[in-house]
Amino acid sequence: MLSVNIVNAQSEIDTTIKVDLLRAPSSPASNLLGIAPSDIEKPTDVSSFMLSLRSATNNFTTLPSNYAIDIAPYWIFKNSKKGDITTKGLSNSSGKNVIKQTLVLSFAFRNPDSTETEINAKSAFGGFGFKFAICRGKYDPTTKKALAVIKSFQDEKIDHLKRIARAYDSIPNPKRDSLQNVQNSLFRAGMTPDEQNAVRSGKRYMEIDSILSQMVLDFQERETTEAQLELDRQIQAKASTFQIARVGWTWDIAGGISTEFRNKRFDNSKLYNAGLWTTIGYTDSVYGAGLFILRLLHNPDKIFAKDNAINDIDDITTLDAGIRYIYGRSQSKFNASLEAIYRSILSSETIDPSWRLVFNAEYAIWQNQKLTFSFGRNFDGTISKDGNLVAALTFLTGFGNKR
Amino acid sequence: MAKSKKENKKAVKKSQKTQTKKTLKKTAKKTSIKKAAKKIAATTRTLASAERTTLDTLYILDGSDNEVTLEVNAGAAGQASDMSIELDGSTVVDKLAGDFSETVLGTNKEMNRKRLRIVATIADLSRETNVTSLTVRLKGGPADTDFLLAKEVEQEGASVDYICLIRFFQPS
């Protein structure tokens, strides 16, 4: 009697090598200097940015030992004119606002002490990086549908609010009218803008403004109906679980450069390392997703083309590229992918470029049990197959005999 | 002795004169800085108020032919807004999602005694913040003015309703 067990076979294809390894780091400057992501400051306004800088430099008196910061200029300067930042304004995939909204600048400084072994302790290092999106994809059908439902409830609410606002204006209210007349009378013809502003800042004007606004609020609360409250509940039910998913074209660009200040002198510097990444992708809710990544590194810590060996060749430039296509629908049990990676060294002829092509497929039998199959060509040119389906078929073959 | 006393008096007077000159210069500089600040303040004033969702106020006109424009921006980032705007009962825009971009309402002369009604509802869809806001920008009168309303919701997904009533007024 034969039994087939689904087991995990020993891997012949290194499944840790994926196209995603070539992706741009979230903070290029910090990545180039080996600063951990958890150490990166990400202030959301100017005050917290200044606070962070002050703390790192001991009130602007010393250089920090390790300091990394990511700034999104569009969002950090609250008073700048931002354009439409509601869900409607953020729906577009490309345009000048997209670049501005997605731009992140990263700065890093590393001043190692004598115990440091990974980096030259006699030098200090500074890094600068940037990251932005040219295309970020548009809302997928599920997102658009959820927004349309919320909008329909909001449209009904607007009708209620218009009714309330019109009623407030039309219902006779001597107190309101009197206060408005007093407010009007505080101004006279020929006043300069300075004088007008002085009136607006004055106690009397602000008191009346506050009372009038409160009267509107009180009226609104009295006139709010159960139907409006029900609309609020329906909106909240949808809005509290709302998530944005994007499909279509995406294109990100990131780059960074770092400098070594030898003997910790700012007048004695040289280029330490640099990187440039670009990622182009396309996601479709039916046909899957494709991705293309290009990475150019100057003087990386490890050389990908040498199986990630430590870089002992100075001033080396590497070019790596990856392409991937994934087919799989949301909630589907089956998905398949095809990945190709190319790696090379541009500035040295000692190591040949190499490439790898792998096909993966998996099928979920139960929630935590999958049948997997991999087939491909490794960097060294060998053809490999892997996955527990292959192992299971091999196991079956071992028990079969001729009768 | 008498000579030195005289000399002392002269010296003191001289230093007092110098001091007065210096003080006058300083005061003049301060005043000019203050004037410059006020000038900036005169052209763009922000009437901000934390946690305020209603407004009944006025915008001053000067009776000129300069155009008065209106712009309305909703926030914060990632929230969903819907708004309607009426001017003297006529619809300017109805059930508009997102911002109302800068639009001419009329000249200062034409706008006198007119009433602007803006109603909006903003739902908290953002997972980054619970703040909602509405900024009403009026330009073209003697002073450009921003009216800022805002409220932070307590529960994820909740909505905030805004009502703004603005009277256009030319003082006589």
Q: Is the pLDDT of residue A257 over 60?
A: yes
Mean pLDDT of B95-122: 96
Q: Around A332, how many Cα atoms within 13 Å sit in the side-chain half-sphere?
A: 14
* Residue B52 DSSP class: B
Residues of chain A contacting B51 with CB distance shorter than 8 Å? none
Q: Does A41 touch chain B (CB under 8 A)?
A: no
pLDDT in tens, A125-166: 999 999 999 999 999 999 999 999 999 999 999 999 999 999
The verdict on a CB contact (< 8 Å) between A154 and B123 is: yes
Closest chain A CA to residue B72: A84
Nearest CB partner across the interface for B82, out of A155, A191, A213: A155
* ipTM, 2 dp: 0.76
B134 to A235, A357, B65, B98, B151: CA distances (angstroms): 19, 53, 28, 11, 9
* pLDDT tens per residue, range A59-94: 888 777 788 999 998 888 765 567 889 999 999 888
SS3 call for A328: coil
Nearest to A197 among B80, B143, B171 (CB): B143
Mean of pLDDT values over A106-115: 88
Task: Flag whether residue A77 sits within 8 Å of chain B, measured between CB atoms.
Answer: no
pLDDT in the model for residue A2? 35
* Spans of all domains in chain A: 23-140+256-285, 143-239, 297-403
The tokens of B55 are what?
A: 């407004």
- Angle A185-A191-A192 from CA coordinates, rounded to 5°: 140
Query: pLDDT value at position A219?
Result: 96
Picking from A42, A40, A44, the residue whose alpha carbon sits closest to that of residue A32 is A40
pLDDT the model gives residue A1: 35
Of A258, A295, A322, A275, the closest CA to residue A120 belongs to: A258
pLDDT of residue A285: 79
Contacts of A88 in chain B (CB under 8 A): 80-81, 97-99
Are A29 and A128 a contacting pair, CB within 8 Å? yes
pLDDT at A275 over 50: yes
Q: How far is A212 from chain B (nearest CA, A)?
A: 6
Q: Using a pLDDT cut of 90, give the percent of chain A over it.
A: 40
CA of A133 vs chain B CAs: smallest distance (Å) = 18
Q: Is A75 within 8 Å of B77 when comparing Cβ atoms?
A: yes
Residues A185-195 have a mean pLDDT of: 88
What type of residue sits at position A342?
Y
Tell me the DSSP string of B125-165: --SS--EEEEEEEEESSSSEEEEEEEEE-SSTT-EEEEEEE
Chain A, 328-357: which have a CB under 8 Å from a chain B CB? none
DSSP tag of A21: G
Lowest mean pLDDT among A26-30, A369-373, B17-21: B17-21
pLDDT confidence bin for A215, thresholds 50/70/90: very high
Average pLDDT of span A180-208: 91
pLDDT classification of B15: cutoffs 50, 70, 90: low
For tokens 């091999």, the residue is: A394
Distance in Å, alpha carbon of B22 to nearest chain A alpha carbon: 29
pLDDT band per the 50, 70, 90 thresholds, residue B38: very low
Question: Does the pLDDT at position A259 exceed 60?
Answer: yes
The residue with greater pLDDT, A370 or A401, is A370
User: Per-residue pLDDT for A256 more than 80?
Assistant: yes
**pLDDT exceeds 70 at position A328:** yes
Q: How confident is the model at residue B19 (pLDDT cuts 50, 70, 90)?
A: low
Least CB–CB distance from B125: residue in A82, A220, A242: A242
- Please give the Cα distance from B131 to B160 (Å, whole number): 10
Mean pLDDT of chain A: 85
Region B18-29: mean pLDDT is 51
Q: Could you say which DSSP state residue A371 is in?
A: E
Query: What pLDDT is stored for residue B52 in this prediction?
Result: 93
Contact between B62 and B141 (Cβ < 8 Å):
yes
Which tokens belong to A315? 């001033």
Is the pLDDT at A220 greater than 90? The verdict is yes
Q: What percent of chain B has pLDDT over 70?
A: 71
pLDDT at B27 over 80: no
Average pLDDT over residues A288-304: 88
Report the pLDDT value the prediction gives residue A231, as an integer from 0 to 100: 96
A403 pLDDT tier (thresholds 50, 70, 90): very low
Tell me which of A13-17, A132-136, A284-288 is least confident.
Answer: A13-17
Q: In chain A, what residues touch B84 (CB-CB under 8 Å)?
A: 158, 161-162
Q: Are B141 and B69 in contact (CB under 8 A)?
A: no
Residue window 207-236, chain A: list those with CB within 8 Å of chain B: 209, 212-217, 220, 232, 235-236
* Percentage of residues in chain B having pLDDT higher than 90: 65
Residue type (1 letter), A103: L
pLDDT at B124 > cutoff 70: yes
CB contact under 8 A, B125 and A87: yes
Q: Give the per-residue pLDDT at A13.
A: 62
> Among A92-106, A125-139, B125-139, which stretch is predicted with the lowest mean pLDDT?
A92-106
User: Span A166-193, mean pLDDT?
Assistant: 92
Please report the number of interchain residue pairs, chain A to chain B, with beta-carbon separation below 8 angstroms: 179
